[in-house]
Amino acid sequence: MRFNLPRVQSMSAVTAEVTKQMMQQWREQLGQSGGKEEAEIDMILAFNDLTAKINGRVAFGTSHEDVEEVIVLMREMQKHATAATLDAPILWYLPTRRNLHVRRLNKQLRSKIMSIMQARLAAKGAKSGAGDAAGCGDDLLGLLLEAWTPQRRGSAETLTADEVIDECKTFFAAGQETTATLLVWAMFLLAVHPQWQDRVREEVLREFRGGDGEAPSADVLGQLKLLHMVLLETSRLYPPIVYIQRRAAMDVELAGIKVPQGTVISIPIAMLHRDKEVWGPDADEFNPMRFEHGATKAAKDPKALLSFSLGPRVCTGQNFGIVEVQVAMAMILRKFSFSLSSKYVHKPKYLLSLTPKLGMPLIVKNIDG
C-alpha cells in the first residue's frame, strides 16, 4: 500500500492533534520553570513519543483497548532490533536471552494485532450483517482489512492475516524512529542556525493562518518552500537511515566492477550525502539554498539524495513522513523559539538510524503572546 496525497492529507489531522498535545506539555513545562519563561526539553524523548503516538493512531486508530499496548510492544521490539545491529549476524539466530525475549514480544504483539483485527471485523459485521471488511475504518489497518477477511483468506487477490500484521509492523518500525530522527536533527540545525529559524518562522506565519491546533492544508504546505528546503538539507546532512542494502538480482557491472547475482551491496547514504565531488565544496555545511530548485538539481547527480531510497524500492511512506514532519514543524515554529542547550554534546550515533548519542536538549521559549 502506498500513501497517496488524499490519504496523506486525511492523516495530517492526526499529526496536528498529537502535536498540539505535545505543545501543551511544553507550555506546562514552561509554566513550571520558576519565572524563566523557558525550559530545557530533550527532543529525542519528545519526538519519539510524538511519532509513536501518531504512527500508532494512523495504523490502528484509537477505538480498541489494545492499541496503546501494541504501541508499547512495537517500541520495545524496535529498541531490541536496533541493538541487534551491533551483533554478529550469527547471533541473530541463536537462542540468546534477548532473542528469546524478542520472540515472546513478537508473539504478544501478533496476538494483540489479531485481536484488534477480529474486533474490527466483528463490529463491521454487527452493523452490516455481512463479513465484508469494506468500511472497517480509514486507518492503515482498516485499509488492509479491505484486502483480507477470514472468508476469503488464501485467495490470490487478498492478503493473509500474517501479511496484514506484518504490514502494520513494518509501517510502524520504518516510520516511527526515522520520522522522529528527522524532526530532531531539523530542530538542531535551526537551533544552531537562528537566522534560518527566523526565516522559516516568518514564512510559516505568513502562509499558515489557521487556528491553534489546526493542521496546515496541502495548499499551505506547498507554500512552505523554505521549510521544505530545510528538511531536504537536514535529510542530506543527517539522513535518518545511514545505509541501505540491496541484493543484485542479476550479474551486473557497476563503475567497472563486476557484481555477481546474489551479491549484497551496502550503500553508505551518510557518506554519499557529504561527497564534495557530488555536492560541492560546501558539502559538510548547512545550506538549504542548494535545494532552491528541487532535489534533482541540488547536486551534480540528480539521484544523489538517497534519504528515502530510489526506484521501485523507494520508501512507501515517504509522502506521509514528509507531511508529518512539515505539519509538526510548522505548528512548533508558530508558537516556540528554540536554541541549543549548553549541555548538548555533538556525538551522532551511527546504527541503523542516526541519532544523537547523548540526547538533544534544546532551550524552548514561548513566543505566542
Q: Residue 47 is placed in which grid cell?
A: 519526538
Q: Does the annotation flag 168 for ligand binding?
A: no
- Distance of alpha carbon 127 from alpha carbon 124, whole angstroms: 5
Residues facing residue 259 across a β-bridge: 252
H helix or E strand, kind and range, residue 40? strand 38-42
Backbone angles phi, psi at 54, to 5 degrees: -65, -50
Helices (H), the chain: 5-31, 43-60, 67-84, 97-128, 140-145, 161-192, 194-207, 218-223, 225-237, 269-272, 276-279, 318-335
Please check whether residue 361 is in contact with residue 29, taking contact to mean a CB–CB distance below 8 angstroms.
no
Backbone angles phi, psi at 133, to 5 degrees: -85, -10
Tell me which residue of 211, 140, 172 sits closest to 48, measured CA to CA: 172
Annotated binding site for heme: 315
Annotated binding site: 315
